[in-house]
């Protein structure tokens, strides 16, 4: 019998090792589940045509005929772009490659906001990539604000399953009347459903799309413990493969005009409809569970020290 026990223990150990090998590929890299590819469904928009300089113009450099752009942070300034159009709902994607090396305090962001139009009750949907004090260990933070409710930060933080400085990776946002979904390389990492408890804080007004790099020394790396060290400048982030498919807002109109049909009827506010966008497939739910269970290390819904009374959507789960 001892031999049989040893045999089964050995088989079990080999199965565990096999699972680990399937799960990882290369040094610290993971092989994610297969999911539907939403990126590439819509045409790529040249950044030099779809965007304007937002700040730090001297630190912005176009590449490959305007299809890509390099945004730089140095002692002089950060830099950023803002979309020429504002959008109500849609699918928004950027391929991003992050600065390597020591990047504490550096923030690279791909996000949507209307703070310029609604300074007192703005909406926001954020991808924020936060530099690190060791190696290339960037942290991903997602966040949303709705109708100026900025007293509650709805942050969630993730470690990445790849080195984001080696090559481009896709960061995508689905925003419609049904839900907001954050995706990395087509894998959902977070879904915010438009439920009754979220109705008053659900982003609902037209927003611009932004791509930026800036100095977040006061808060970005371990609460501001590690500020930007400009000994390591310049910090260069590259953006490309931009997709922005949504209803374009024209200020003279009371409702957005849909970029696909130009209509103003009930469907004009949800141009990106269909099964791929109104709900997550079972395959996508499996992918999201994989990402959240392995790589999410902070959620505002699990922070009673910060919120002794948790926000209503957390209590509703």
Catalytic residue among 6, 23, 27, 124: 124
Please report the pLDDT score of residue 160 as a whole number.
96
- Identify whether 128 is a catalytic site residue: yes
Is there a contact between 59 and 72 (Cβ–Cβ < 8 Å)? yes
pLDDT band of residue 299 (cuts 50, 70, 90) is very high
Give 216-238 pLDDT, tens digit per residue: 988 888 888 889 999 999 999 99
pLDDT at 208 over 90: yes
Residue 212 has pLDDT above 80, yes or no: yes
Q: Which of 23, 128, 155, 241 is catalytic?
A: 128
Is 6 among the catalytic positions?
A: no
Comparing 184-188, 263-267, 304-308, the range with the smallest average pLDDT is 263-267
Alpha carbons 219 and 96: distance in angstroms, whole number: 22
* Sequence-distant (≥ 6) Cβ neighbours of residue 287 within 8 angstroms: 32, 33, 35, 187, 188
Distance CA 101, CA 135 (A): 5
Give dist(CA 85, CA 92) in Å, integer: 13
pLDDT tens sequence across 145-195: 998 888 889 999 999 999 999 999 999 999 999 999 999 999 999 999 999
**Higher per-residue pLDDT: 276 or 59:** 59
Q: And the tokens for 37?
A: 């590819």
* Structural class in CATH, domain 37-315: mainly beta
Q: Write down the pLDDT at residue 112.
A: 98
Of 76, 64, 68, 72, which Cα lies nearest the Cα of 51?
68
Specify the pLDDT at position 269.
56
Instruction: Tell me the average pLDDT of the chain.
Output: 86
Residue 12 pLDDT level (bands cut at 50, 70, 90)? very low
């Amino acid at each position: 019998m001892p031999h049989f026990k040893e045999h089964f223990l050995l088989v079990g150990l080999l199965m565990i090792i096999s699972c680990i090998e399937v799960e990882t590929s290369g040094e610290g890299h993971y092989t994610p589940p297969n999911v539907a590819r939403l990126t590439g469904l819509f045409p790529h928009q040249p950044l030099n045509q779809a965007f304007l300089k937002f700040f730090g113009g001297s630190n912005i450099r176009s590449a490959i005929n305007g299809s890509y752009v390099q945004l730089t942070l140095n002692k002089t300034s950060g830099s950023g772009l803002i979309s020429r159009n504002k959008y109500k709902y849609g699918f928004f994607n950027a391929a991003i490659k992050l600065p390597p090396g020591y990047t504490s305090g550096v923030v690279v962001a791909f996000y949507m906001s209307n703070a310029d139009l609604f300074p007192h009750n703005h909406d926001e949907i954020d991808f924020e990539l936060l530099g690190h004090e060791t190696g290339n260990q960037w942290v991903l933070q997602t966040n949303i604000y709705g109708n100026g409710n900025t007293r509650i930060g709805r942050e969630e933080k993730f470690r990445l399953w790849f080195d984001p400085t080696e090559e481009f990776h896709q960061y995508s946002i689905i925003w419609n009347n049904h839900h907001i979904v954050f995706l990395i390389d087509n894998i959902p990492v977070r879904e915010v459903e438009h439920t009754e408890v979220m109705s008053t804080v659900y982003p609902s007004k037209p927003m611009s799309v932004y791509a930026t790099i800036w100095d977040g020394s006061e808060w970005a790396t371990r609460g501001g413990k590690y500020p930007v060290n400009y000994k390591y400048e310049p910090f260069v982030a590259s953006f490309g493969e931009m997709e922005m498919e949504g209803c374009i807002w024209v200020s003279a109109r009371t409702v957005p005009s849909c970029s696909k049909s130009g209509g103003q009827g009930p469907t004009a506010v949800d141009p990106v409809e269909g099964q791929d966008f109104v709900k997550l497939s079972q395959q996508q739910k499996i992918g999201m569970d994989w990402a959240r269970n392995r790589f999410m290390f902070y959620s505002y819904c699990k922070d009673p020290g910060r919120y002794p009374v948790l926000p209503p959507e957390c209590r509703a789960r």
